Amino acid sequence: MKFKESIDKRRTFGIISHPDAGKTTLTEKLLLFGGAIQTAGAVKNNKIKKTATSDFMEIEKQRGISVATSVMAFEYKGKQVNILDTPGHKDFAEDTYRTLTAVDSVILVIDCANGVEQQTEKLMEVCRMRNTPVIVFINKMDREGQDPFTLLDEIESKLDIKVCPLAWPIGMGDRFKGVYNIYEKNVNLFQASKTKIAKEVVSISDVNSSEIDELVGDAFAKELREDLEMIAGVYNPFDRETYLSGEYAPVFFGSAVNNFGVQELLDAFIEISPTPRSRETDLKTIDPYDEKFSGFVFKIHANLDPKHRDRIAFLRIVSGKFERNTFYNHVRLGKKFKFPNPTSFMAQDKSVIDEAFPGDVIGLYDTGNFKIGDTLNEGEKFMFKGIPSFSPELFQELENLDPLKSKQLEKGISQLTDEGVAQLFIQQPGNRKIIGTVGQLQFEVIAHRLLHEYGASCRFTPRNYVKACWITTDNDVELKRFISTKSGNIAKDKDDNYVFLAETPFLLQMAEKDYPDLTFHTTSEFKLTENN
């Protein structure tokens, strides 16, 4: 297949939502429609009866939530579909933010009863920062929820984006009859089925046809026609370029757990969603059709398969063609590496590939050479931008409960913080380990994984810090004076950069005032440019 055709067939997107909106269930059902899996497990009451395909970490199975980004690929109607299923829980928002740098578009899942929730707003802000195209899927229509027009108004006001319904529900809850596909002009009748694909789709070119009355009843048919008339008067007709610019979002309705409305979503997504997009570097914009290979690491995961203790770097390919056993530049280290076993993913199932193209996400076995944000390429020396670490909000000191397992603890916390689960700051004297996260649940995940994956038991003691700030300066004398004066609040991160752990916002303000030659950064973005 020609190089350009291989790129044009790729569709790489992320699925985002507030917890419990049905995101992981939708992911699973997309795989079902794509033929990647044959049956689907149901998620009920936050407990996975048959573990969702994309939730593979042990703690995810126990808690019924996604805490790590999963990557899944399948072919559908001649297109290569790459799904990145992200954590919905707010404590893992940073992993989701990083994942959004690796996708070309997004499907946003909203619960019809709860509408737009706080976490949804935060995730949408990240999409708007990058003008990421968004499709909205309003889920759980087989349950009682808000009026569809009320939901659309809420999406527009809270998420600051115009909407364009491409499907419309016929009834809701116990009265849910199905969905009228505005885009394809057909009716899909609802049948509750958690494991089978709905087949009954009736093509109706004229919405005034008496066939609709026969299918759903006179009252529902009348209501549908009135709703469609209002939609035509209130919302602009679909325009692909406006969607691709991130200015407005097509909207679909359905019930993911019952496999309903999912095929309409997938069929439209395949047709309208963007091909791989360009990415910014510190040197220039990289076009996906550039012949020279380039890509960036947006995630690292240790022990993807606990039996083999492997460590995988997730690489988003931006340009050129990646080939197995070919040497590529590791820009930060200034070294060349080749990869004999690059993999593609179906959740925890991996298969070795010989080549990959822009839009693809591949796994590279890693012995500790990669960090999140690293660039791999051939040719010019540049680094992709926009994959920083953020200042944590919670800080706790890690204490080893078993001195005989010190090596296991050291290795475990090093690998887990490389993944971006949390940040590690080392304080002297005593080599004390301060762990910084954006949510309390991350400490539970770290303790669980240290014990079950590394055999190291630990506990966490809260520390009274509110902000971690990376320090840069050209004035070494002032830096030494600051470190000496604030020794109890100074630490180093994993890359040996100095970090000021501020106990209050006021003390940070005073430090900025008293040491004007020092710059205090609340993200690690500065490191990407300084390494070049």
Average pLDDT of the segment spanning 169-193:
82
Q: What is the pLDDT of residues 36-90, one digit of tens each?
A: 666 554 333 333 333 444 444 454 445 444 334 467 888 899 999 998 877 654 5
Average pLDDT score over residue span 510-527:
84
183 pLDDT above the threshold of 50: yes
Q: Which pTM does this prediction carry?
A: 0.77
Strand partners, 424: 435
Q: What's the N-to-C CA distance of the chain in angstroms?
A: 36
- State both tokens at 88: 């919905």
The closest alpha carbon to 71, from 345, 306, 353, 356, belongs to 345
Into which CATH architecture does domain 279-377 fall? 3-Layer(aba) Sandwich (3.40)
Look up the CATH architecture of domain 394-530: 2-Layer Sandwich (3.30)
Whether the predicted pLDDT of 306 surpasses 60? no
Q: How far apart are CA 318 and CA 295, in angstroms?
A: 5
Q: Give the domain ranges of the chain.
A: 3-272, 279-377, 394-530
Higher pLDDT, 94 or 201: 94
Question: Does an H or E element contain 187, and which?
Answer: strand 186-189
Mean pLDDT of 464-484: 94
How does pLDDT run across 136-167, given as a tens digit for each residue? 999 999 899 999 999 999 999 999 999 999 99
The H or E element that residue 417 is part of is helix 406-418
Class of the domain covering 3-272: alpha beta
pLDDT of 100-129, one tens digit each?
A: 889 999 999 999 999 998 878 878 887 887
User: Which pLDDT score is estimated for 213?
Assistant: 84
* Same fold: 279-377 with 394-530: no
Express as a percent the part of the chain with pLDDT over 70. Answer: 83
Dist CA 372 CA 81 (whole Å)? 24
Q: Chain-centre distance of CA 396, in angstroms?
A: 26
Work out the pLDDT band at 205, boundaries 50, 70, 90: low
